[in-house]
Amino acid sequence: MLPAARALAAWLAVVAVVAGAFAAGRVTRTTPPAAPAASSPTGTTGDDRGPATRGSPIYNWPSRERNKLTLTLQRMQVRERSSTLTVTVDGLAAGETVMGLRGVSVTDKDGGQLLRGGPVGFAPANEEGRGGPEAEVIVRGPVDRLAAVAAVTVQEVFVTSQMVEEAKGTLLHPGLRQSDESVQVKVPPATCRGCDVDVRCTDCRTMEVAASDYRHRDVVILLTPKGPRTRSVLGGDPQVTIVGTLTDIQPTVSTGPDGTTAVRFDAASLATDDSSGRHGFRVSVQGHLEREVTGPWRMSGAP
Does 40 fall in a domain? no
**Identity of the amino acid at 160:** T
User: Cα dihedral sign for 21, 27, 30, 33?
Assistant: negative
Q: Assign 18 a pLDDT band (cuts: 50, 70, 90).
A: low
Q: What angle do CA 183, 188, 189 make, to 5 degrees?
A: 135
**Could you list the residue range(s) of the whole structural domain that residue 238 is in?**
15-35+162-289
31 and 168 housed in the same domain: yes
Q: Which tens digits make up the pLDDT trace of 75-98?
A: 888 888 888 899 999 999 888 889
Q: How confident is the model at residue 12 (pLDDT cuts 50, 70, 90)?
A: low
Stretch 18-44: mean pLDDT: 42
Domain shared by 171 and 283, yes or no: yes
d(CA 74, CA 60): 5
Side chain identity at residue 58, one-letter code: I
CA 254 to chain centre: 16
- Does one domain contain both 62 and 181? no
Nearest to 72 by CA among 55, 47, 91: 91
Alpha-carbon distance 164 to 285, whole Å? 6
pLDDT: which is higher, 64 or 190 = 64
Q: What is the pLDDT of residue 249?
A: 92
Nearest to 219 by CA among 260, 179, 187: 187
- C-alpha pair distances (Å), 4 with each of 9, 210, 299: 9, 13, 59
Are residues 155 and 184 part of one domain? Answer: no
E strand or H helix that includes residue 19: helix 3-23
The answer to whether residue 41 is domain-embedded is no
Using 50, 70 and 90 to split pLDDT, how confident is the model at 25?
very low
User: Do residue 252 and residue 295 come from a single domain?
Assistant: no
Residues written for the chain:
303
Determine which helix (DSSP H) or strand (DSSP E) holds 154, and give its type and residue range.
Answer: strand 151-172
User: What would you report as the CA-atom Rg of the chain, rounded to the nearest whole angstrom?
Assistant: 26
pLDDT tens, position by position, 124-180: 887 654 545 778 888 888 888 888 899 999 999 998 888 899 999 999 887 777 655
- Residue 275 forms part of a structural domain: yes
* CA dist., res. 285 & res. 128, Å (int): 25
Residue 263 has pLDDT above 80, yes or no: yes
Burial group, residue 113, by CB count within 10 angstroms (0-12, 13-18, 19+): middle
Looking at the fold, whether 257 and 177 belong to one and the same domain comes out as yes
Q: Are 71 and 123 in contact (CB under 8 A)?
A: no
Residue 48's pLDDT band, with cuts at 50, 70 and 90, is very low
Indicate the Cα dihedral angle 157, 162, 167, 173, nearest 10°: 130
CB 129 within 8 A of CB 77: no
| 213 and 256 belong to one structural domain | yes
In this model, does residue 13 exceed pLDDT 80? no
Instruction: Write the DSSP symbol of residue 35.
Output: P
Three-class secondary structure of residue 228 per DSSP:
coil
Domain tally for the chain? 2
> Which of left, alpha, beta for 269 (phi over 0: left; psi -120 to 50: alpha)?
alpha
Same domain, residue pair 246 and 169: yes
Q: What is the mean pLDDT of residues 204-209?
A: 93
Average per-residue pLDDT for the chain: 78
Do 132 and 212 share a domain, yes or no? no
Q: Give the pLDDT confidence score for residue 278 in this predicted structure.
A: 87
Which pLDDT score, from 0 to 100, does residue 24 have? 41
Domain with 125 in it: what CATH number? 2.60.40
Reduced to 3 states (helix: H, G, I; strand: E, B; else coil), residue 267 is helix
Residue 89 is assigned to a structural domain of this protein: yes
Contact 204, 165 (CB under 8 A): yes
Cβ pair 150, 72 in contact under 8 A = no
On whether residue 47 sits in a domain, the answer given is no
The confidence score (pLDDT) of residue 275 equals 67
Residues 31 and 167 in one domain: yes
pLDDT score at 191 = 63
Q: Are 53 and 36 in contact (CB under 8 A)?
A: no
**Are residue 133 and residue 174 in the same domain, yes or no?**
no
In a domain, 42, yes or no: no
Same domain, 150 and 92: yes
